[in-house]
Structure 1
């Protein structure tokens, strides 16, 4: 009979014991900065076993952390890998969203900020659950390099002003391991651990300024506004405590942010917006609001009104569109993407309108259900190793307050097959509530 491998937990070194740190937090005590640093180092180098890391996460989840502890945890996770340093003639700025449906703000905001004199090394992630990921959207651009070398990243940011890429293996490795353990130990919801996880990567990017878009509503992870506000307050306090000027907005995700939901479809809508076509006023307003916060915090504008004027000038003049195109080309994508997006972005073979069962006015949308319908189409992951169909999703979605019926569908479904299209169409009908009394008539 073959013996099973036995996981060995960290032994005492210099009188320091990981289990004593866990016990102290389990009993509600405060952890010293040095103990947090050593614990995080053990997470990163593997000297702490999964049981110890899981116990620590659960103790933090139940007992919570003070502001000083949150700062110590976030900076220790930042320092577990490479920390980027910049020598640029302008402020280094980034934005982070907690995720939603139709949230393609990053694709528009990064080049807008670059056109206003900021430098934006935006490290983004994949889709999670029902929410779309910026990296998955960019993967729909042929040739676009999501994982450039550190040298290429520096060159693109310096030359273009922005580069949207994925997390490299040497940025905040402690977060990667801790997050994987949190995901299977029911500790994902801890505001302390969420704060540290988000900021570990952002602080490692060497930022001067960070703006946070914390979503609330039925399409967000933080459904309740008070929970979203608590997370926003935590991130702002910790990031500022760690030396990064940070602001946060709590924005609505009770309906899709863009008219599109799906990877290539959202890239197409982002390009259209940069070209001057505002399909979703909500998407444009959130982008401008976050951009104004960033420019004021970065010292590029004296107040939000002046900041918006800068952003609008960069938009109307075509400077932001040019920055987006330059970024795509510098990272290996087609040099004429913005001129011919339909030529390069994947097109689903089935494209048809989704009609409601009866006419009415949209009163509410189950936004999470819309996101899950994209997942069912193959545009999101059911398993971590799933390959995505980047062409599928919805476009021209109706928003709350708009009339739908014989002249206006709920939206258009893009699918790989007729069967998938019909399944997704019914899911979209079920997600829309029309008429009075909150009853669905779709």
Structure 2
């Protein structure tokens, strides 16, 4: 004889449909019942739509996050000899910041346990980028993971299925029911995994603009504030930076080419915007880890960050000196006239790179590591007629037509004195104590 369930899911759906508030026990039961299959997908789909339309209160979002954490295992870093700090980005076009950031912070004797994912749609996945490196592997045992954190300091690897399994199931449902953008569901999804990961401190890079997950700055701010509250309530020191994703970040969009650009930053060079954001996030992470006066720039100049990068790649089976893959075909787009590049929208460039093979439409799709886009000019740059503006790379030349189609109207050359459309500074605000 089966046990009697304490709640009826239809009653809970009606409560949220009618703008009511769910209690802690109701939320705990709902997430547990959904994880074990008692609540059907169509019932949870109705619940997620009710949340999408009517929102959740602060206590509900906290309870939802804690219930998702409780659905699986949690990690503990108390055995490490060094403090832990982590970073999460909501994703964007050309966002390779984790690659130089993790070894940079680790070079100061701080452990950075970066559990990352693969890309879906126009935003690239950190693991996809690193898998461009011959021999590098994303899957580590717990023993390898902790050993590398202690010896090297930084680990970028795949998250195990045991961390917040309710989130994995719920995210797959949201993806096919048009409820991905619900802020309570985004916040609880991100923070359940990060809190379960066990890091003592967390810095969030919450993006807004054309190429961001949430384009509206006000909604991005709401998400950032919600996640900072969740982290703080859970005892994790949490800070968020609101950053601009109206223009692609850096000059490389793809996988292997983003690794190349990251290595340039670690060597003391690289594009100014990538350097700026890497340094800003590193300062926040190190301040939360007890080093507010760390000289971050010097670690890029003197090779310490590069040494940690090489050790991190080697520890995971990769060859930091190996040649990265290059595409078989390229297509160069040149400036039709002289003037100033006044517009370069991030989203169309992300979609173009995806169509070239740098991203995936379904989770099981492979990515082509050599595919992508290299920009030769950024908004505000003066260009001359015939000058290369950007280069498309792909193994299959038939991909160029659809990529170019997605870029129509996404960039524009104006005259000296015309407004340059960047959407404001790269770092718009900081949220947190």
Query: Which residue does the alignment assign to 1:420?
Result: 399
For residues 390 and 162 of structure 1, what CA distance do their matches in structure 2 show?
Answer: 23
- Give the aligned partner of residue 363 of structure 1: 342
Measured after TM superposition, the shift of residue 90 of structure 1 is: 2.1
Are the aligned partners of 2:136 and 2:318 in contact in 1 as well (CA < 8 Å)?
A: yes
> 2:306 maps to which residue?
321
Q: Hey, what's the Cα distance between the residues in 2 that align with 1:267 and 1:411?
A: 18
Cα RMSD, aligned residues only: 2.0
- Which is worse superposed, 409-418 or 69-78? 409-418
Structure 2 match to 1:143: 135
Change in CA separation of 1:282 and 1:120 when aligned onto 2, cut-off 3 Å: same
Q: Using the alignment, how far apart are the partners of 1:376 and 1:284 within structure 2? A: 28
Distance in 2, matches of 1:145 and 1:346, equals 16
Aligned partner of 1:74 in structure 2 is 65
Q: Distance in 1 between matches of 2:359 and 2:273?
A: 23
- 1:9-158 to 2 correspondence within 5 Å? 13-86=4-77, 87-158=79-150
| 8 A contact 2:106–2:152 mirrored in 1 | yes
Cα separation, partners in 2 of 1:355 and 1:429, compared to 1, 3 Å:
farther
How far the C-alpha of 1:12 sits from its partner, in A, is 7.3
Unpaired runs of at least 5, structure 2: 422-433
TM-score w.r.t. structure 1 length?
Answer: 0.90
Q: 1:231-262 CA distances to partner (integer Å, 9 max, x unpaired)? A: 11111011111111100011111111111001
- Give the distance between the partners of 2:367 and 2:120, measured in 1 at CA: 13
1:145 and 1:29 map into 2 onto residues whose CA distance is 47
CA contact (8 A) 1:212 1:246 kept: yes
- 1:5 equivalent in structure 2: none
Q: Distance in 2 between matches of 1:429 and 1:326?
A: 42
1:222 aligned partner: 214
- Which of residues 246, 251, 265 is equivalent to 1:254? 246
In the other structure, the counterpart of 1:409 is 388
Q: What whole-Å deviation, never above 9, does each CA across 1:302-355 have from its counterpart, x for those lacking one?
A: xxxx24x2x112212211111111111111111xx1xx35x2x11111235321
Distance 1:118 1:128, change over 3 A: same
For structure 1, which segment, 75-84 or 205-214, has the greater mean C-alpha deviation from structure 2 after superposition?
Answer: 75-84
Q: 1:252-331 counterparts in 2 under 5 A? A: 252-278=244-270, 280-301=271-292, 306-307=293-294, 309=295, 311-331=296-316
Measured in 2, the distance between the counterparts of 1:399 and 1:249 equals: 23
Return the match for 1:391 from 370, 376, 390: 370
Measured in 2, the distance between the counterparts of 1:401 and 1:438 equals 9
Measure, in 2, the Cα distance between the counterparts of 1:69 and 1:319.
44
- Mapped contact 2:341–2:420 kept (Cα < 8 A): no
What count of residue pairs does the alignment treat as equivalent?
417
Aligned twin of 2:177: 185
Contact 1:354–1:425 (CA<8 Å) still a contact in 2?
Answer: no
Whether the 8 Å CA contact 2:92–2:124 is kept in 1: the answer is yes
Q: Could you tell me whether the CA contact under 8 Å between 1:433 and 1:439 is conserved in 2?
A: no
Greater Cα shift, 83-92 or 420-429: 420-429
**Structure-1 separation of matches of 2:277 and 2:104:** 13
Q: Gaps (5+ residues) in structure 1?
A: 1-10
Contact preservation (8 Å) 2:204, 2:241: yes
Query: C-alpha separation between the residues in 2 aligned to 1:12 and 1:183?
Result: 32
Q: Alpha-carbon deviations, 1:66-116, whole Å to 9, x = none? A: 111111111211121110111212221111111111100000110111111
Question: Is the 8 Å Cα contact of residues 129 and 255 (structure 2) preserved in structure 1?
Answer: yes
TM-score (norm 2): 0.91
Question: 2:111, 2:153 within 8 Å by CA — same for their partners in 1?
Answer: yes
CA distance in 2, matches of 1:258, 1:426: 22
Q: Distance in 2 between matches of 1:130 and 1:19?
A: 36
Cα distance, 1:439–1:243 mapped onto 2, change above 3 Å: closer
CA distance, structure 2, for counterparts of residue 405 and residue 419 of structure 1: 29
* Cα displacement (A) at 1:429: 6.1
